[in-house]
Amino acid sequence: MRPPRLLLIGDSSSDEFRRAIESLAGADRVAVAELNAASQVLATDPRPFDLVVLLQSWPGEFSHEQVARMAQLAPLSRMVRLAGSWCEGEGRSGVSGAAAMRIYWHQWPSRAGDAMTRLGDGGCPIWGLPLTATEDERLLAQVTRLHARRHGTVIIASHDPEMADWLAAAAPMRGYQPVCVEPIPGRVRANGVAAALWDASQFHEEQAESLQAFVRSLGNAPLIALLNFPRAEDYLRALAAGAAAIISKPLLLSDLFWQLDQLANVS
């Protein structure tokens, strides 16, 4: 199967979008900085794009009229707005783009990875749904397929008992064995650790030091940090502290399982 063709429009050098773009390494990508250049590409390139990605750094960067124009120029392409940190208030303000599905930059790696896997399997990625699909229909489309069984212990470290219980209940659905501990270095006492989940809220310097020490106590097992709506600096700080990946909260099971399956250190 040919790699998907993607047209990226916007600031592809931004720290917020860098890892999202890196996750598309297997795609046939064309990147432009402005909508005028994108219009020229769409008007002159005879090959259709599977996906048009708007790298939206701030609300209003792409007007409804401009997005609608892109949709007219690429009627066979699906369109996604990859929203940066400054766009997080759009859902509360009621501002949205009807012609393009919105995915936040920190949600993209796992959701795009799952979508690419579905494409490779001949399935329908989340952005392949009709534009009229409701949020409930989109969530149902992302229900994780559980036939692929895994194994190994997953360490769950959280100060929130409810979150720890939710993660512990989810892990066996994929075949992992959960072990809950407090997020304190030296509390890991399990053999065959596949990965660790380190749950936090807003990420700050003290948590970064705690995370770094906890990562050292894991040995070679990768750690996934769960953060509430991380900013770009939170993302980079968690990676610098030793996290192998970051998942933003609220999260979907498909986010969790895709990232675990990518990183789990299972012999």
Domains of the chain: 5-141 (3.40.50.2300), 153-263 (3.40.50.2300)
pLDDT of residue 106 exceeding 60: yes
Question: Tell me: the pLDDT tens digits for 222-232?
Answer: 999 999 888 88
Residue 204's Cβ-count burial label (10 Å; 0-12, 13-18, 19+) is exposed
Residue 189's Cβ-count burial label (10 Å; 0-12, 13-18, 19+) is exposed
* Mean pLDDT computed over every residue of the chain: 83
pLDDT tier at 90, thresholds 50, 70, 90: low
Contact 255, 263 (CB under 8 A): no
- Percent of the residues in the chain that have a pLDDT greater than 90, as a whole number: 25
Residues 83-109, mean pLDDT to the nearest whole number: 73
Residue 55: predicted pLDDT: 94
- Longest Cα–Cα distance in the chain: 60
Question: Tell me: the pLDDT tens digits for 137-172?
Answer: 776 766 655 555 677 899 999 989 999 999 999 999
Radius of gyration in angstroms for the set of CA atoms belonging to the chain, rounded to a whole number: 19
pLDDT of residue 10 exceeding 60: yes
Which strands sit side by side in the sheet containing 153-157, from one edge to the other?
Answer: 177-181, 153-157, 193-199, 223-228, 245-249
Contact 117, 258 (CB under 8 A): yes
* Cα 237 to Cα 257: distance, rounded to the nearest angstrom: 23
Contact 126, 141 (CB under 8 A): yes
* Cα 113 to Cα 84: distance, rounded to the nearest angstrom: 18
pLDDT of residue 97 exceeding 60: no
Which of 6-20, 42-56, 90-104 has the lowest average pLDDT? Answer: 90-104
Question: Tell me: the pLDDT tens digits for 107-138?
Answer: 888 877 777 777 666 677 777 777 677 767 77
Name the more confident of 167 and 192. 167
Residue 247: predicted pLDDT: 92
Closest CA to 157 of 177, 187, 201: 187
